A and B are shown apart, each in its own frame.
Chain A
Amino acid sequence: MTDSIYAPRMARLADIRPMTELEKLFVVEFPDGSSLGHQPGQFVMLSIPGVGEAPISISSSPSRSNGHFELCVRRMGDVTGVLHRMKPGDVVGIRGPFGHGFPIEQMRGKDVLFAPGGLGLAPLRSLINQVLDERGSFGRVIILYGAKRPAELLFRDELEQWAARDDVEFHVTVDRGDETWTGNVGVITTLFPKITVDPRNTVAVTCGPPIMYRFVLMEMLGKGIPETQIYLSLERRMKCGVGKCGHCQINNLYCCKEGPVFTYAQIKNIPEAL
């Protein structure tokens, strides 16, 4: 039988971990134990048969695959809404991995500055953990993380680990604090004055809500980081994941093929991109 590029493989939810009011972490495995074989920054098309399919970025790093991968998913639409009601052992469909991830080879030997906002940590965590697992191959590792409220911080246990490491410069902020919060308050850009970088030798990586990019990019460019060394992971509507259906087009770039990871140099002249 001829295969269809739109037919997913069956996968199982090995574990589901609540993260915030809106986000859960889904640990996914294929019944035959095979690995997904992804690069940090890539995404999968996740199907719930009869409900639909949605593009989801991969949150786990290939260096920690162990026959499974992780998806940090916000409850938002049909597919994610039903997914959030599922139990460990339930099955989903997976196509992919798709897209162009982070070019980790070109990052080796350099300082890496991560600046995820909100759910933008989901795709960046894949790269962050890969970098930390090969810590010796990189220069400084700086993580600036911003969320709206303390209750919306993702991967809290890992944030604590990153904060505790002396080979990671970690700063976190929330737009609005609460009675338990003693850390930074303010948008993510307020973290940038806390760090200095060697711009020539720094690769910057960001992902977050659309409104965030302009301000974060200003900070990165302000620090002198070249446009070709600033990476963004963009979100778009996707129905095929393989460059056919047209939904994810950003002018002539297909977010599902040339992206979702772009350099700022690639998209800076495309008003539609940001």
Chain B
Amino acid sequence: MRLRVLPKERVPDLVRALMADYRVWGPKAKGPQFAFEPLYDPAEMRLDYNISILSPKVALQPPQERVAVFHLDGGFTVEPVIEAEPTVIFGMHTCDLHALALLDKAFSADFPDAHYLERRKKTLIVSMECLQPCDEHSFCKSMGTWTADSGYDLHLIDLGDAYGVYVGTEAGEALLAKYAQARPATDADVRRLNEVMSTKWPRFPHRLNFDAAELPSLLATAYDHPIWAELGDRCLSCGSCTNVCPTCYCFNVIDSPDLSLKEAVRMRRWDSCQLDEFARVASGENFREARAARQRHRMFRKGKWLYERFGEMGCVGCGRCIRACLTHINIVDTFNAIHASQHRR
């Protein structure tokens, strides 16, 4: 992989140039936190962010989107709504990049979902190497997502006064050629990069007390573990853990007419398996009525089921669900507790 070097002072020009041809999403300050949003001014971008409230999946699977419009005239015609525009997601951290690999598979499997996939096709990813963990809740090292060697078009590594740039795809190469005059790396740049990367590793602690590869088999023996009842007692069923999760993609489909009843839209909106009504059918039967069962469902999706289905782990260690939970439900503590109890004897 060839390394290029982009002086930091050229980044605003790069982003401005991209904004002319693409919708550019980047991290912006939101109160004391950060959010991925469309950029309107390169100066808004905060590449020094730690973690965004919602993951940058918002650019690919918006919280709410129209999927079809019905024109009603006695019968009806349906017009699919595929809203995809040339997009760049700038500054994505590698945990979120790993999450995209799962979303790509989930939306491609069996019945390809054009709403996501068309947008994905038109989206270029400029990711960024994290040089320190976001905070005490990050466990990306345990999940193996603290760095990445693929999945991006371009990948930036902070070398001090410049970014080292890895090119991941031809599209990335073309983007770099057209919008940024990055120079080839010198031996000194490579030495600097190696120094940066080697000092990075020790800064990231492991938080899982075991190898994440063991998670699926660990959970296989934990379906009836007493910890689910504990989590159920604490859970508010507010859905925040799944809404902030970069690999959660469940949704509801909602139809709404206009007042003239001549047109109707079909929308999809993020949904959460933690909500009381998620598995409730029209007759009133609720197939996952207990909060404990809903938390177990989430943890099993993250640590086992999605992996078994798509070969990608459903948890990327970003820690967002931990930060978002007002009652301190902690996926790392949960997995560690299960591991401890299975290995106590």
Which residues of A are at the interface with B, using a C-beta cutoff of 8 A?
1-8, 10, 12, 31, 47-54, 76-77, 80, 91, 93, 210, 235-237, 239-240, 242-247, 249-252, 257, 271-272
Contacts and interface: CB of A to CB of B under 8 A. Distances in A.
A49 B114 CA distance: 21
A165 to B, nearest CB: 32
A50 B113 contact: no
B229 interface: no
Interface in B90-143: 106-107, 109-115, 118
A10 B251 contact: no
A1 B80 contact: yes
Nearest to B242: A246
A4 B114 contact: yes
B22 interface: no
Interface string B59-71: 0000000011010
Nearest to A211: B285
B255 A52 contact: yes
Contacts of A3: 80, 114
B109 to A, nearest CB: 7
Given A7-B67, A236-B281, A247-B278, A242 B110 contact: yes
A247 B76 CA distance: 28
B78 A247 contact: no
A6 B72 contact: no
Contacts of B282: 54, 76-77, 80
B255 A51 contact: yes
Nearest to B70: A49
Contacts of A6: 67-68, 80, 115, 253, 266, 268
Given A5-B114, A244-B107, A247-B250, A252 B285 contact: no
B157 interface: no
B29 interface: no
B74 A91 contact: yes
B297 A249 contact: yes
A48 B77 CA distance: 12
B5 to A, nearest CB: 39
B196 interface: no
B225 interface: no
With a 10 A CB-CB cut-off, give which of B253, B256, B280, B297 has the most chain A CB atoms.
B253
A240 B279 CA distance: 13
A45 B90 CA distance: 39
Given A2-B80, A236-B287, A272 B293 contact: yes
A272 B288 contact: yes
Given A236-B279, A236-B281, 10 more contacts: A4-B67, A4-B115, A7-B266, A80-B282, A236-B287, A237-B287, A240-B251, A240-B253, A245-B250, A246-B250
B251 A53 contact: no
Contacts of A80: 282
B293 A4 contact: no
Contact of A239 (B72, B106, B252): B252
Given A6-B266, A49-B264, A252-B304, A245 B253 contact: yes
B54 interface: no
Which of A2, A12, A76, A244 has the largest number of chain B CB atoms within 10 A? A244
Given A4-B115, A49-B257, A257 B110 contact: yes
Contacts of A251: 297, 300, 305
A141 to B, nearest CB: 30
Contact of A50 (B118, B249, B255, B297): B255
A2 B264 CA distance: 20
B271 interface: yes
A252 B250 CA distance: 14
State the 3 A-B residue pairs at the shortest beta-carbon distance, nearest first.
Answer: A50-B257, A246-B250, A77-B282
